[in-house]
Structure 1
């Protein structure tokens, strides 16, 4: 059984142009040609296309995919295993976010307003995830926050207000008051990171790069730059 390029494109959710490009770069060359010169794709071609699409989900370039398919010994089983591992990571992240959102829902249904840290955890889970942290790092952050979120919330709010007052007053980042603020701020974040300075820098990068977190925390890039100074 052979499929014409249009039928394969439709069933695979691709464009005819994409399949033609795959042929042009020898990534997916059809096994047969009709008497009229039309591309015809067989079982092996469709299996190779599955490998290509699975590896595309792993954010590999077409050149990397071609090298892997042409030279790797693992074949289809390796591709499937890698896709399963990727899905497992996504499921863990989605499950953690779902559990936290259910807790927020319970608070809202009980007419209780969740604290800022509750919303931050949910927001960070949506905008960050694997973008900034590994699965192990996300578990560390979740454990640390669950253990000290209520205790840290008042201090976090106090430090944010202190930062705004210093910036509004034009205080130098090198002043004794600013230095004391920065030391307390970094100590709080380091505690949140479980004492891991590498994880602390990832938290910093996330807060620097995500504007949605600026609105939630009340600390924008200018504030982050002030603390860093």
Structure 2
């Protein structure tokens, strides 16, 4: 079979067949009277073997060894090919991520493209200082894809850089909730913590409260705490049990107590909060530190019930608890005398 017909039937160009011949990879078994290459059935089978190995990513030199050296074992080479392919896919995924980020920024010119590329390069630096500078020194008003910033927030372990990223994300005006919400459901607890903290600092957006409410059930105390503080600041009373738990645990207890005080402006919610705090006082009768924190939370609330509970605590068997409670009773009485409004409403 002549080279032209082999090319048509095999799909391998005549030029490539000549190249295979020059390399000694597939040499035609015969020549015609006119000197033209003539391929046998065995030659054609070898061509298909070459093409099959090429489809796996082998170089022509490796293919030659595989076909000629009986001792050439495929296992090591295939393992190398797997590793090289994985590396290439990783590079391609990174390229795709960059291209999508640039596309999402809706660039109007190449300067916009270059700014986004420069930001991505800065964020991928091993230097925390450079990553932070990349966020803080971007031009005012420059469009940055929310997905890019959100992805950087989820990946950032340095607290200073993470703070700068959350600040930039919150003021970007873009909707990054979908990316951050995926982080809230990650198996990586550090990633969940970063995601909830970032959502907490976003301007209120539809769906954010629902994501944070889901995080109240997270097994990690820090995740639950970030979610409860954010929800409480937004007036969501579902955060009350977690906020009370934070007072008991001493985790951001001052912030939690202040938010409980704000939520207690609703009379029905106030009754729930007082009841929960009193229950915890009973449950931790032997823990002075917990009871003092609970007293500190009570003083943030309003109502005669709160004052009565603190008066009882002022006679507590624990001198430290009694001293703190007595001081808080004085604070409430002074507040009432100044017209601060200490009556149940």
> Which structure has the larger Rg?
2
Question: Structure 1 length normalisation: TM-score?
Answer: 0.37
| TM-score, normalised by the number of residues in structure 2 | 0.27
- Between 1 and 2, higher relative CO (CA 8 Å, sep ≥ 6) is seen in 1
**Which structure has more helix as a fraction of its residues?**
1
